[in-house]
Amino acid sequence: MKASDSGPKRETFASNFGLLMTMIGVAVGLGNVWRFPYMVGKFGGAAFVFFYLLAVFVVGIPAIMAEWTLGRYTRRGTLGAFQKGGFPGGKYVGAFFFFIVICATGYYSVTLGWVAYYALGEIIKAFGRQLNTAAILPPDAGFNLHSFFLQLLMTSIVIFTCGIILVKGLRKGIEKVSKFIMPTLLVILIILIIRAITLEGASEGIKWYISGFRFTELTGSVMAAALGQAVFSMSLGGTFMVIYGSYLDKGNNIPKNAVYTGIGDTVAGLLAGFAIFPAVFALGLEPASGPSLIFSTLPKTFAMMPAGWLFGLIFFLGLFGAAYLSDVAAFEVLVGGIVDNTKLDRKRAVLLICTIVFLLAIPPLINFKIFFPWDLTFGSGMQTLGALLAVITTVWCIKRSEALKELSKGTGRPFPLFLYWWMRLVIPLAILFIGINWLLEYVFR
């Protein structure tokens, strides 16, 4: 019996709009609104943007197709998909990535708690008071009791609200909230862009961001970083997209929806840059300030603007919304895995997973000396490995005729053979290049 016919009965999306809003919401997160701008700043602007756009279309979108195909074909998430897809030792590979997602969800929820606290600080400014929002950030080393308890409080709130959505399931919970948050995020970004580009001196930031591209700036390091950002921002990794792929109906057009998701994800990242860099340049701040761009540089930017608290609030609410949907997706990987492989019902699975994630969120909130290696290991590094194995499972382990049939469902035409071979030969090599660069840059340097 075929894997796609033998899996458990799955809830599917209520509408194609809901599907797209959910999938784009999964892809759009801190990777777009936080990581993309600071990566642009770190790697010199236009050259990085150019290659990132190329990477999304030639690597990211085909990889999404592969992960969705794996999910729909097996009707399983991370726990079960690799095994049913025929990957050697797939049962253990799935269990390994299940553990990775638990650890990654913990630190991601911590970061989301920071964003929520910064939004609270902007609200308090409206009443003429000041809240030291930086107090929630962990120290570089050592231990700070005040920061620790603030992070515990905000992280628990984040996890609790995710749990509420997850209990309601796909259609009444995840899809419903996605249909509200994603259009709202678009409106927020447009408001911020209008404010940023009307600042005196904003044109310098726009020029730096999208013009002045020179091929000499397109180094191996820049290309690897752009490829890695494409994998990171599109939530590839054999986890998020696989579980949501298992909720796709057989009539859903995987190639078309993958293109729309890639475009939506890319537009969100580009708009975030237009909302940030014109303001940063206009106010004489440093665009290459790295991860602190959001939590250090931008608050200073908003403080210099008339009614800056309002734009600060809008920005951090938008950032929270974008990141929240990715966090919900991470939890769904875990909850779906428990429901698929145990006798626990959804409510008990949500309670169990939320408790475990909360406990594993504690180590990275102690200090940045723990947080950054945690991020690099369970986020960037393992995410690349998961994406590689998911693509290999889909195009090398699943029988070719079955994979092509799955990719063709809902399209009304056969899936292009050249694209299948592109996914089979080029995509794994591109992802492997990202992984090797990650090892050289962050592990063996």
Tell me if 120 is assigned to some domain.
Answer: yes
Which token pair is 198?
């009307």
Tell me if 271 is assigned to some domain.
Answer: yes
Kindly report, residue by residue over 390-426, the tens digit of the pLDDT.
999 999 999 999 999 999 999 999 999 999 999 999 9
Which token pair is 443?
């592990």
Q: What is the CA radius of gyration of the chain?
A: 21
Beta-carbon count within 10 A of 149 CB: 11
Mean pLDDT calculated for residue range 186-199: 89
**409 in helix, strand or coil?**
coil
User: Higher pLDDT residue, 292 or 415?
Assistant: 415
pLDDT at 293 over 50: yes
> Which domain covers residue 303, as residue numbers?
11-443
pLDDT at 3 over 60: no
Mean pLDDT calculated for residue range 281-306: 72
Tell me if 85 is assigned to some domain.
Answer: yes
- With residues binned 3-state (H G I as helix, E B as strand, rest as coil), the percentages for the chain, rounded to 5, are 80, 0, 20
- The DSSP element (H or E) to which 137 belongs, if any, is none
**What are the C-alpha distances in Å from 177 to residues 180, 181, 329?**
5, 6, 12
**74 in helix, strand or coil?**
helix
Tell me if 107 is assigned to some domain.
Answer: yes
Confidence at 280, pLDDT banded by 50, 70, 90: confident
pTM over 0.85: yes
In angstroms, the CA 12 to CA 373 distance is: 37
In angstroms, the CA 85 to CA 3 distance is: 8
Confidence at 29, pLDDT banded by 50, 70, 90: confident
Q: What is the pLDDT of residue 427?
A: 97
Q: What is the pLDDT of residue 403?
A: 98
For tokens 């723990």, the residue is 370
* H-helix segments, 342-398: 346-360, 368-375, 382-392
% the chain with pLDDT above 90: 60
Which token pair is 279?
């303001």
CATH of the domain at 134: 1.20.1740
Among 146-160, 231-245, 276-290, which stretch is predicted with the lowest mean pLDDT?
Answer: 276-290
DSSP 218-280: --HHHHHHHHHHHHHHTT-SSSHHHHHHTT--TTS-HHHHHHHHHHHHHHHHHHHHHHHHHHH
Tell me if 3 is assigned to some domain.
Answer: no
Which token pair is 215?
């091929």
Tell me if 114 is assigned to some domain.
Answer: yes
Among 33-47, 84-98, 222-236, 333-347, which stretch is predicted with the lowest mean pLDDT?
Answer: 33-47
Q: Structural domain tally of the chain?
A: 1
Mean pLDDT calculated for residue range 202-222: 79
Tell me if 1 is assigned to some domain.
Answer: no
Tell me if 2 is assigned to some domain.
Answer: no
Mean pLDDT calculated for residue range 194-215: 82
Residue type, 410: G
pLDDT at 70 over 60: yes
**77 in helix, strand or coil?**
strand
Q: First-to-last CA distance in the chain?
A: 49
Burial 167-195 (b: 16+ CB within 10 A, else e): beebbebbbbbbbebbeebbebbebbbeb
Among 103-107, 378-382, 399-403, which stretch is predicted with the lowest mean pLDDT?
Answer: 378-382
